Amino acid sequence: MPDEWADEKNKRCFSDAFSAWVRSKKAIRGLRFFLLANETNVIKLNVNLRGMSIHEKASATTVDRGPGPGKTEHSEVRFKRRFPVGAEPVAGGGTHFRVWAPKSSRVAVQFGSAGSPKTERAELAREKDGYYSGYVPAAKTGMWYRMELDSGIFPDPASRFQPEGPHGASEIIDPSRFTWHDQEWTGVARSGQVIYELHIGTFTPEGTFAAAQKQLPALAEVGVTLIEIMPVAEFPGAFGWGYDGVDLFAPTRLYGRPDELRHFVDCAHSLGLGVILDVVYNHFGPDGNYLKQFSEDYFTRRYANEWGEAINFDGENAGPVREFVCSNAAYWVEEFHMDGLRLDATQQIFDASPEHVIKELCGCVRKAAPNRRTYVVSENECQHAILVRDVKQGGYGLDAIWNDDWHHIAAIAASGHSEAYYSDFKGSAQEFVSAAKRGFIYQGQRSGWQKQSRGTGTKGLMPEQFVICLQNHDQVANSLLGKRVHQVASAGRLRALTALLLLGPSTPMLFQGQEFAASAPFLYFADHKPDLAPLVAEGRKGFLSQFPSVAHKESVAHLIEPHSKESFQRCKLDWSEKEKNRAIYLLHADLIKLRREDPVFSRPQPGGVDGAVLAPECFVLRFFSEEPGDRLMLVNLGPDLLEAALSEPLVAAPEGSRWQLIWSSESPRYDGCGTADVNTESGWRIPGHSAVVLAAEPFNDADGEPR
């Protein structure tokens, strides 16, 4: 960044932002303010935030280009902004800027060639409601710029790229220069998805969009249908998870330039892969966060937030804040062709408005892709089913929600450990059956761990609206050494639980490298400034102390500091393990293929799954079909079960049919020990630590053989 662009006042911003990050208070009530319209001689904009596309009503704007070459008369062009804020290049030259900065009595743009100390300056015109805007003919694509306020010179809050990180200058980006090839892509349906969560920085040794793109064929080959990218919004330091982003519109320079992310998405679509982006609308990170220089009203102390000050979605001047977030949601879908979003920790998005901001931004996502199907999924620890209920039923209209209950059950079944928040579960056969039939385990009962009721009812929801997993970034890292599930479970249990994940009625999600039993751990890593890093490390240690095994003095010595580069480097995948661990890879590929191609598993019916417990660690799930040919999944996490008869009606084959084994987790193909006949004349033999799938096939009455 040129020295001339620096300002002494900027040095105080970090301490101010950090203080705000750790200070928050509960709210008593909320107010709702709507941004209705802004009009100046520079731009006319009418933004209605109640379900309308964030720029649907933006009107054409007349901008004065000045005299053309060899002419004395000024020329005018009609320009329509794509989004309410940020720097948008105008066709033919120049850039239109717009920013919300009610705290400042004036706003100017300082701009110049990339890295050059020489800059130009252009004043922006003040609109009502605290916006400033203006067309700057000399500001070209690729130039760097910053916003000059009363309090100093700062990056654009809606910057499209920060080439030197969140403390540096912003860059003017023209999205129209990228050529898309996905015109035939129709988007992502709610049902039939196999999600794959990945972190760009550790997905490959290089840790870039371009390197990740090279591995997309491998994901398509194994059968993944939808990629979920962990947050990419610009954040400080050389590495991090991305959940402390500060520039929501700017893909981080650590992974590449904006067009490289577009290439990633374009390539994914060519391979039949959808892409959704993990976004964080519950807080901003503390370092590089200059929003308060523009307006104090980005934040509120009315609510207690787990990670700092809550974002103001329902207080005074909340309209422009809602607009900022909703336009960001639409931005990723429109300009990067994302197929939707994963909303992080929505229980920390507080809004007492008549229309919740989550419902509003979901509507913006839909309207940003009118010719594509979009997919919006929520993480919500409280398990509020209203998020995924239809708008006509009073819900927010999202497609799916993470089902933490299922993960916790499976984690206990895999490892045998039930500390901290796992203590509400047993990893029992009955819990697996209940989850298959009803989604959440906790639907309003009292949680012993939380000492309050947890969850809401799921009646009327479809099974695919629950996203389940054996691993995700949080749960792998919420342990002493960040071990993967295959490192804490027996081989047989791992295969059985994987079958339950990939053939069950809910939407399955894999975490990067899970399909080939990656040896790389996934730890919490965050490269913060020296004065902040120890505080973050201490906070992380405090969080993990809820697990008595981690809090033990012997274990504490093995915790790796989040700001250690080693914690980041150790998490990078080794893709050669895909061939080394071929058996577990084939297990995943075969199960996903069965899920996709089997006439019963591929076409789940409402209420089409029932289940029952057969033994303390053995249960059955029956998948009903409209046509003859039900499927029976027998999962036994205990020892071999030998029964001369089973009195459970669900194991009875349909009339005129008999059960035939079509898949077993104990196949030698997966390094299993082989499978004897499961259902014989002498009774049932269900192998231990396994899952088997039986199909109902009609038989010939004369000789008893299948037809």
pLDDT in tens, 550-571: 999 899 989 989 999 999 999 9
Q: Does one domain contain both 409 and 392?
A: yes
- Paired sense of beta strands 308-311 and 247-251, if any: unpaired
Q: Does one domain contain both 518 and 496?
A: yes
pLDDT tens sequence across 252-267? 999 999 999 999 999 9
Q: Which amino acid is at 505?
A: P
Three-state secondary-structure class, residue 483? coil
Of the pLDDT bands very low, low, confident and very high (cuts 50, 70, 90), residue 45 is very low
Q: Does one domain contain both 36 and 168?
A: yes
**Domain stop point among 423, 445, 466:** 466
Q: Does one domain contain both 401 and 480?
A: no
Would you state the pLDDT for residue 627? 80
Would you state the pLDDT for residue 66? 55
pLDDT tens sequence across 342-359? 999 999 999 999 999 999
Q: Does one domain contain both 22 and 166?
A: yes
Show the tokens assigned to 208: 């870039």
Q: Does one domain contain both 86 and 166?
A: yes
344 included as an active-site residue: yes
CA distance 191 to 507: 8
Note the maximum CA span of the chain: 100
Percent over 90 (pLDDT), the chain: 84
Q: Does one domain contain both 160 and 193?
A: no
Whether 274 maps to a domain, the answer reads no
Paired with 452 in beta bridges are 447
CA distance 363 to 302: 26
Three-state secondary-structure class, residue 565? helix
Structural domain of 551: 189-224+470-597
Of the pLDDT bands very low, low, confident and very high (cuts 50, 70, 90), residue 477 is very high
Residue 529 · residue 287 · CB < 8 Å? yes
Whether 47 maps to a domain, the answer reads yes
| 11 pLDDT above the threshold of 80 | no
Whether 85 maps to a domain, the answer reads yes
**Domain stop point among 582, 597, 612:** 597
Q: Does one domain contain both 23 and 148?
A: yes
| Total structural domains within the chain | 4
Whether 229 maps to a domain, the answer reads no
pLDDT tens sequence across 437-464? 999 999 999 999 999 999 999 999 999 9
SS3 labels along 12-71: HHHHHHHHHHCCCCCCCCCCCCCCCCEECCCCEECCCCCCCCCCCCCCCEEEEEEECCCC
| 59 pLDDT above the threshold of 60 | no
Q: Does one domain contain both 87 and 12?
A: yes
| 592 pLDDT above the threshold of 50 | yes
Choosing from 127, 309, 344, 404, which is the catalytic residue? 344
Percent over 70 (pLDDT), the chain: 88
Greater pLDDT, 235 or 60: 235
Would you state the pLDDT for residue 279? 98
Would you state the pLDDT for residue 63? 63
Show the tokens assigned to 547: 């697990």
Greater pLDDT, 510 or 32: 510
Write the CB contacts of 459 (distance below 8 Å, at least 6 apart in sequence).
none
Write the CB contacts of 704 (distance below 8 Å, at least 6 apart in sequence).
658
Mean predicted confidence (pLDDT) in 126-147: 97
Whether 707 maps to a domain, the answer reads no
Whether 304 maps to a domain, the answer reads no
Write the CB contacts of 267 (distance below 8 Å, at least 6 apart in sequence).
213, 216
**What is the 3-state composition of the chain as percent helix, strand, coil, each rounded to the nearest 5?**
30, 25, 50
Q: Does one domain contain both 204 and 139?
A: no
Would you state the pLDDT for residue 70? 43
CA distance 150 to 27: 31
Mean pLDDT for the chain overall = 90
Q: Does one domain contain both 153 and 19?
A: yes
Would you state the pLDDT for residue 41? 31
Would you state the pLDDT for residue 115? 85
Of the pLDDT bands very low, low, confident and very high (cuts 50, 70, 90), residue 116 is confident
Would you state the pLDDT for residue 628? 77
Query: Phi first, then psi: what are they for 464, rounded to 5°?
Result: -70, -10
Would you state the pLDDT for residue 487? 97
Sign of CA dihedral 78, 80, 85, 86: negative
Would you state the pLDDT for residue 21? 41
Exposed/middle/buried for residue 118 (C-beta within 10 Å: 0-12, 13-18, 19+): exposed
Of the pLDDT bands very low, low, confident and very high (cuts 50, 70, 90), residue 44 is very low
Residue 100 · residue 149 · CB < 8 Å? no
| 62 pLDDT above the threshold of 90 | no
Of the pLDDT bands very low, low, confident and very high (cuts 50, 70, 90), residue 79 is confident
Of the pLDDT bands very low, low, confident and very high (cuts 50, 70, 90), residue 607 is confident
Would you state the pLDDT for residue 61? 59
pLDDT tens sequence across 270-286? 999 999 999 999 999 99
Choosing from 266, 379, 527, 561, which is the catalytic residue? 379
Mean predicted confidence (pLDDT) in 598-619: 94
Of the pLDDT bands very low, low, confident and very high (cuts 50, 70, 90), residue 77 is low
DSSP letter for each residue of 589-618: HHHHHHHHHSTTTTS--TT-EEEEEEETTE
- pTM for this entry: 0.90
Three-state secondary-structure class, residue 170? strand
**Domain stop point among 112, 142, 177:** 177
Would you state the pLDDT for residue 601? 96
Whether 348 maps to a domain, the answer reads no
Q: Does one domain contain both 383 and 457?
A: yes
Query: Phi first, then psi: what are they for 627, rounded to 5°?
Result: -95, 160
335 included as an active-site residue: no
| 155 pLDDT above the threshold of 60 | yes
Whether 373 maps to a domain, the answer reads no
